[in-house]
Amino acid sequence: MGLEGIGARVARKEDKRFITGKGRYTDDMTVPGMKHAHFLRSPHAHARIRSIDASAAEKMPGVVGILNGRQLTEDAIGNLICGWMIHSKDGSPMNMGAWRPLASDVVRYVGDAVAVIIADTKAQARDAAEAVVVDYETLPLVTSAAAALEPGAPQIHPEAKGNLIFDWEIGDAAATDAAIAAAAHVTEMKIINNRLVPNPMEPRAALGVYDEAEDHYTVWTTSQNPHVARLVMSAFYNVAPENKLRVIAPDVGGGFGSKIYIYPEEIVCLWASKRTGVPVKWNSDRTEAFLTDAHGRDHVSTVKMAFDANNRITGLKVDTIANLGAYMSLFSSAVPTYLYATLLSGQYDIPSIHANVRTVYTNTAPVDAYRGAGRPEATYLLERTMETAARELGVSPAELRRTNFIRSFPHQTPVIMNYDAGDYEASLDAAMQAADYAGFPGRKAEAASRGKLRGIGMSCYIEACGIAPSAAVGSLGAGVGLWESAEVRVNAVGTIEVLTGSHSHGQGHETTFAQLVSDRFGVGIDSVSIVHGDTDKVQMGMGTYGSRSGAVGMSAVVKALDKVEAKAKKIAAHLMEADESDIVIENGELKVAGTDKSVPWFQMALAAYTAHNLPAGLEPGLKEGAFYDPSNFTFPAGCYICEVEVDPDTGKTEVVQFVASDDFGKIINPMIVEGQVHGGIAQGIGQALLENAYYDPQTGQLLTASYMDYTMPRADDLPSYKVSTTETACPSNPLGIKGCGEAGAIGSPPALINAVTDAISNNNLTMPASPHRVWELLNPAH
């Protein structure tokens, strides 16, 4: 692997600017003449806008302009859309309501933007916003998905009768019902997956600049996928033609899914820049982020799992209601369908599965992908059910899982996915050993002597990453292909630039992508630069989400490297009068195998550009591009085991041990992979113990809209983690990579809740397991 190649634990190249305060985030950008935007937002969850009077506000100090939905409509700015078409089981297309970047007639959630105030300073814009008078006629509202489906519920969009967006199914209903009818045992549960707010630490921001002289548009934005933003903003929102629009996502402070989507604010900043003639910058404050960033999860499900007399699962039936909020965000329809129900087979050989999913409009913020996106919901449902079934059947949780593991590959599940490789027993064994599972009874007794209730819980997760084969997702309704692009430029002095359509917002691509090049050509990572996040530099790309940058983005780099290597060998062979099939590349040199002849890498590169002595017919230069479209999803899997201690006096849960054993396939940089797992687990523990986005059902107000009210996991809430990996090669991409970005958040919540319910001997627990909820279960008389 070399010191800096594949598998090396290399410190990150990008760290220096971050640890010295020289990172460049969108809100750090300034351009001459820049003004500041403040969005006036609806304080009501559902209301008709009777009028907007900005006459007093327009006269306030520093105000440059105040725009609302009427001007937006005058300029024919398009509706925000959901880019994944789902059809209901009756064949009808999903019922998508209109989403205007600035609401002009009806507001549908607290935070819906109704006007933008542009002023010399942020404070002036905010002051003026308070002087804008909006006359609202409030309307009845509904915040929970189940309530929104009830007859007589407030109607949110005229396009979606009864607030139903679609009623979709997957799998074989008849076979599953038959399996349940014939079962020796059926475990039934109601499962709630609590609503979360992603909360990347950098709030969203946008800076829109229209250059009238060039008729050119630039937008800096906090995006995980700037090229998709450019595509959507030009093709659907009519903000700017694609060839005249540059989208830059510079350093981005975390995403976790919430920065995939194109939001009203970046559209409005760019449009407003043209309309007012000044550059317009907006950055979200934290409460705005809580109100308007796409939320995650919010499923209510029922599940029936059927077993035969040998404890083998014979059928799984799931009914889910998913809350999509007030508007359909960009990929919202895919999350509770193809990213969720297709994973309901888990690690188990289940002959029949049927899932029905209804998605629903409510008067809450839009809901879309949040770290894991559908797969945490599937895993939580399945692994809570497995644990519960083990308790009901009187077998150990590990044994029940072993009985049902898939053991031969490829494995076709009843819900589309074809698992290519895996060894679930290996990760279970590794986790049980690392957790000293056998020693648990002793630890439980010791904890009891201190008055603490100790519990243990496990979770065996699988996810689908490497998103995704373009033709396959196209056939399922995706509006885009999910390939990735790369370009490798070898400079005349031999240094190398890699341009990628992936986007790094914490994942360390500037290091790991350079490690690929180092591994291939034996050059140091310091002579390799990674270019990303700018549509003027990288032609096209699909961005970073779904743990796809390794499996898909790096595979594109590998394809481009293959082409560079082939040409480099041709040049070197010519220089050394050897056969190109005899050339090997080692330690920064091109050598003739079996001889002492060699050409340094830089000399070959220089020869490519001087072009004085190239093989006949070979073009000068050394620059190659590639698009890589994956042949299958990848299937990371693993086992997480958690131990908790509950204080019966307070109901407070402490995580005393957390063990993760993951199979991510080939690993480029173990240090970075471990960091991804740590962060994912923290978010999973957050969901299970601390976090909950709560809307007041009467008023539609988000009561958890600040860090005073929404419990973010902090250092003293969390343990240190024991993480390790097992490896089965992934046959579906050239590097054998499966992906690691989401696993921690997917696998951990059920392990936690299984542990807490074990500790308190009460299975009737919903997330988050707050001290209050746990204490109430321990003290039912109160």
Partner 1 sequence: MASVSMTVNGKAVSGQCEDRTLLVQFIRENLNLTGTHVGCDTSQCGACVVHVDGKAVKSCTMLAVQANGSEVLTIEGLASGGELHPVQAAFKAHHGLQCGFCTPGMIMAATDMIKRHGGKLDEKTVRDELDGNICRCTGYHNIVKAILAAAEEMGSTRQAAE
CB of 398 to partner 1, least distance (A): 25
Which one among 1, 3, 19, 133 touches partner 1, defined by CB under 8 A? Answer: 19
Q: Is 89 in the site for partner 1 (CB under 8 A)?
A: no
Strands 637-646 and 623-628: unpaired
Quickly list H helices, 504-633. Answer: 509-521, 555-576, 601-610
- Nearest Cα to 148, choosing from 79, 95, 197? 95
CB 123 to partner 1: min, Å: 7
With contacts defined by CB under 8 A, how many residues of the chain interact with partner 1? 57
Which one of the spans 183-191, 197-205, 439-447, 585-593 is the region binding partner 1 (CB under 8 A)? 197-205
The piece of 201-209, 297-305, 470-478, 594-602 that touches partner 1 (CB under 8 A) is 201-209
The answer to whether residues 748 and 662 touch, using CB atoms and an 8 Å cutoff, is no
Q: Given candidates 37, 467, 682, 760, which one binds partner 1 under the rule CB under 8 A?
A: 682
Nearer to partner 1, 23 or 731 (CB): 23
Interface stretch with partner 1, choices 159-167, 224-232, 281-289, 480-488 (CB under 8 A) = 281-289
When asked if residue 395 is in the footprint of partner 1 (CB under 8 A), the reply is no
Show Cβ contacts of residue 771 under 8 Å, excluding neighbours closer than 6 positions: 650, 651, 652, 653
Q: Are 203 and 262 in contact (CB under 8 A)?
A: no
DSSP codes of every residue in 401-466: HHHHB--SSSEE-SSS-EE----HHHHHHHHHHHTTGGGHHHHHHHHHHTT-EEEEEEEEEE--BS
| Binding residues among 349-388 for partner 1 as defined by CB under 8 A | none
Q: Which residues pair with 185 in a beta bridge?
A: 307
674 part of the interface to partner 1, by CB under 8 A: yes
When asked if residue 285 is in the footprint of partner 1 (CB under 8 A), the reply is yes
> Binding partner 1 by CB under 8 A: which of 1, 3, 30, 584?
30
DSSP state of 373: T
Give the Cα separation of 750 and 746 in Å (integer).
Answer: 9
- Residue from 3, 123, 133, 445 touching partner 1 (CB under 8 A): that is 123
Applying CB under 8 A, the span of 15-23, 45-53, 267-275, 606-614 interacting with partner 1 comes to: 15-23
Q: Least distance from C-beta 25 to partner 1, angstroms? A: 7
By the rule CB under 8 A, 189 interacts with partner 1: no
Residue 575 beta carbon to partner 1: minimum distance, rounded to whole angstroms: 40
Cα–Cα distance for residue pair 316/338, rounded to 1 Å? 17
Give whole-number Cα distances, 647 to 398, 449, 482, 528, 642, in Å.
26, 12, 48, 53, 16
Q: Which range, of 94-102, 198-206, 518-526, 624-632, touches partner 1 by CB under 8 A?
A: 198-206
Least CB distance from residue 148 to partner 1, whole Å? Answer: 30
Among 372, 506, 630, 749, interactor with partner 1 by CB under 8 A = 506
The reply on whether position 724 binds partner 1 by CB under 8 A is no
Q: Which residues contact 167 (CB under 8 A, 6 or more apart)?
A: 88, 89, 90, 356, 357, 358
Helix axes 375-393, 397-404, angle to 10 degrees: 110
Q: Is 177 in the site for partner 1 (CB under 8 A)?
A: no
Q: From 20-28, 51-59, 170-178, 260-268, give the range in contact with partner 1 by CB under 8 A.
A: 20-28
Please write down the HEC assignment for all residues of 24-80.
CEHHHCCCCCCEEEEEEECCCCCEEEEEEECHHHHCCCCEEEEEEHHHHHHCCCCCC
The residues in 743-762 that bind partner 1, with binding defined as CB under 8 A, are 744
Considering beta carbons, is residue 455 or 684 the nearer one to partner 1? 684
Provide the mask over 247-276, with x wherever binding to partner 1 is found by CB under 8 A and - wherever it is not.
----xxxx-x--------------------
Site map for partner 1, 692-721, x if CB under 8 A?
Answer: --------------xxx---xxxxx-x-xx
Considering only CA atoms, which of 37, 161, 46 is closest in space to residue 105? 46
For residue 772, state whether it binds partner 1 (rule: CB under 8 A).
no
Closest-CA residue to 677 (of 503, 547, 554):
547
Phi first, then psi, for residue 609 (nearest 5°) are -95, -30
CA distance 292 to 111: 6
- Using CB under 8 A, which of 20, 243, 310, 449 touches partner 1? 20
Among 301, 683, 692, 770, binds partner 1 (CB under 8 A): 683
Cβ pair 768, 692 in contact under 8 A: yes
Q: Beta-carbon neighbour count of residue 56 at 10 Å?
A: 11
Token pair in block for residue 83: 């880019």
- Binding interface with partner 1 (CB under 8 A): 11-12, 14-25, 27-28, 30, 123, 199-203, 251-254, 256, 285-287, 505-508, 671-672, 674-675, 678-683, 706-708, 712-716, 718, 720-721, 744
